[in-house]
Structure 1
Amino acid sequence: MKIKSQLFLIVKSLLLLLTFSFSLSSSAADNKAVRLVVAAPHIVEMLYAIGAGDSIIGTTEHSDYPQAATKIPRIGNYAGLQVERILQLKPDYIVAWKTGNPEVDLNRLEKLGMTVVYSNPTDLKSVADELIMLGELTGQKSKANQIATAYMDKLNRLKQKYKTHQPISVFYQLWTAPLTTVANNAWPQQLLAICQVDNPFIALKGDYPQLSIEHVMMAKPKLIIIPTSTGEPNQIKGYWQQFNAIPAVKNKQIITVNSDKLHRMTPRALDELEVMCEKIDNARAVYF
């Protein structure tokens, strides 16, 4: 009986050892780094935010945050992707922007056997959803959930802080030539809404309508916001000084915001949103 008992213990120990070894092997396979070609700057930024930046083996122009992203090989831009170059890189996945990359190139890559995963953030909450999706794709679930939760907490804090503030009329000068603003469900318009502003052009056709100086003069905004950055230079404040009939010009209420932060659908947008809301509050103090 004693011998049988010893044999049983030996067999049991071997089975446990084999199970443990299999578990380690499976874990190593599950955590194998994926190789990603990423076709938009906001996706690159989110991957770095969740600790998966090293997975990126190719990306598009203007992917410049964080600094490490500037060293990633380029495989095209918003106007076109270098299909042959992407095939040479042999990525596990291509992560593309549903509405920001050329459909013809993505369709060609799929026909050639590439797996395309689409990023399609449409509102402020969907940024958190995207983070979680990318976390699952790269094996960074825990970090992605942490960043997504922090993002939603900050978004809700900003909503709560400004929800009772008196609205102020704002013209958001998205671009100068042609003069372009934001409306409807445009990403910057969603951010402006958090700060409690009245956009006189919100109901125009399309999310990014073009208009004339006369339209702005008739609207008489109390504040003009000009998004600008090194990557997206925009007309400076002096452009408006000749139009003193506009309250924003007359009262020197023309501000700038960092478009590199604000216009990318990433957690960093909330940092600049907070700055913008504070500047809008300063303008309120002039009028109310």
Structure 2
Amino acid sequence: MKNTEQLNLMHSGKGFIAALDQSGGSTPKALSQYGILENSYTNEEDMYTLVHEMRTRIIKSPAFDNQYILGAILFENTMDRKIDGQWTADYLWEKKHIIPFLKVDKGLADLANGVQLMKPIANLDELLNRAVERNVFGTKMRSVIKEANRDGIREVVEQQFKVGLQIFAKGFVPIIEPEVDIYSADKEKSEQILKEEIQKQLNLLDQDVKVMLKLSIPTVNNFYSDLMSDPHVVRVVALSGGYSREEANHKLSENHGLIASFSRALSEGLSAAQSDAEFNNQLSDSIKGIYDASIV
């Protein structure tokens, strides 16, 4: 059974979602941007321990506050670790009053029809059962659209909603994330097709089904406003997609009602070498900037 308090907060609360879900492939990059180089660890377990320490430092920071942050997206390995003796999702909700989400996809398939579908998600049921035990509220899964190919985009959206319904049936609110590559030559056209396909899928849903949408910041401002008012949609959130934080915030602030779900743009400027005061000040500046852009 979904947590009604969390559902209401996610639907109408002020703030944004912190994406702390870099996974296997992107973890070394996330660590190196934080100042921990690949020669600092010898195996995957060490790497994940170091990245959990980084995420723990972010989550425990006084800057990481529910006045600004509604939710946080975790990687599976983070969900299965603890902060101060509590499972990470429980720590987020009970200590911080921040809603926990889980990234469930296993990465992207090769490019075909101008898009990258999700790879099949092996053992999804088992992962969702564990997420139920860990008190996770919702999930996130990413596909990528590179070209305005109608067949490819339709495939992406159909796959997202099909898996999303499986996730919803387990009691979660799925974040459907069909990212349009910000460097795509026909980004605006892709967004037009994407919106049509999303609307088709929303129209097919049973009355009680709730989803969230995580989309690239649109080329045309306020292009996704009508999706925000769909009764099935809890919230529409934006990814930073490779923009610098400053540029992502600027573009986000021109889209009313769209809130951030930033990953790299959130942790930009943070370093393992910083003192706690420096770290907390940098994180606080980042969070306030992203929050300000999210509440317009």
The question of a shared fold, defined as TM-score above 0.5 by the shorter chain, is answered with no
Higher Cα radius of gyration: 1
Per the normalisation by structure 2, the TM-score is: 0.28
Per the normalisation by structure 1, the TM-score is: 0.29
Pick the structure with more strand per residue.
Answer: 2
**Which structure would you say has the larger RCO, counting Cα contacts within 8 Å and 6 or more residues apart?**
2
Pick the structure with more helix per residue.
Answer: 1
